Amino acid sequence: MNIQANGLNTTALTLKPNANSADKAKEAKLHKACQDFEALMLKQLLTTMRKSVPKDGLFKTGYAEDMYNSMHDDELAKNIAHGKGVGIADILYKQLSGEIKSSTK
């Protein structure tokens, strides 16, 4: 395809996506899914840990505090999982990425 720009004749190159970029996109999606799964597992862990703490004290707790704690646990789990994590996502990614590589051959 030729393009005329300011009197200059230039040829535009179109980049074709290769199989390698498709594999990288699949691997990126898989990695994010593994991190999201790890965040889900950590959220359950944090919620269970919070329930084990006795609620006796000077202050009465209500629905608002329970909602805040739930949102806090959710964000904390996401930050841990999407950061360095605890290793669940890495192990799951290694297991599942082998299946992706073997299915594309």
Confidence (pLDDT) at 97: 86
Q: What is the pLDDT of residues 70-100, one digit of tens each?
A: 999 999 999 999 998 899 999 999 999 886 6
| Residues facing residue 9 across a β-bridge | 4
Confidence (pLDDT) at 18: 62
Cα torsion angle, 51, 52, 56, 58, sign: negative
Q: CB 50: neighbour CB atoms within 10 A?
A: 14
Q: What is the CA radius of gyration of the chain?
A: 24
Confidence (pLDDT) at 88: 92
State how far the Cα of 15 lies from the Cα of 40, in Å rounded to an integer.
38
Q: CB 30: neighbour CB atoms within 10 A?
A: 17
Q: What is the pLDDT of residues 5-45, one digit of tens each?
A: 555 555 544 445 565 787 888 889 999 999 999 999 999 99
Query: What's this model's pTM, rounded to 2 decimal places?
Result: 0.69
State how far the Cα of 99 lies from the Cα of 87, in Å rounded to an integer.
19
Confidence (pLDDT) at 86: 92
The band of 56, judged by pLDDT with boundaries at 50, 70 and 90, is confident
CA distances to 52, 53, 61, 81, 82 from 49, rounded to whole Å, are 5, 7, 17, 17, 21
Confidence (pLDDT) at 59: 77
Domain coordinates of the chain in residue numbers?
Answer: 18-104
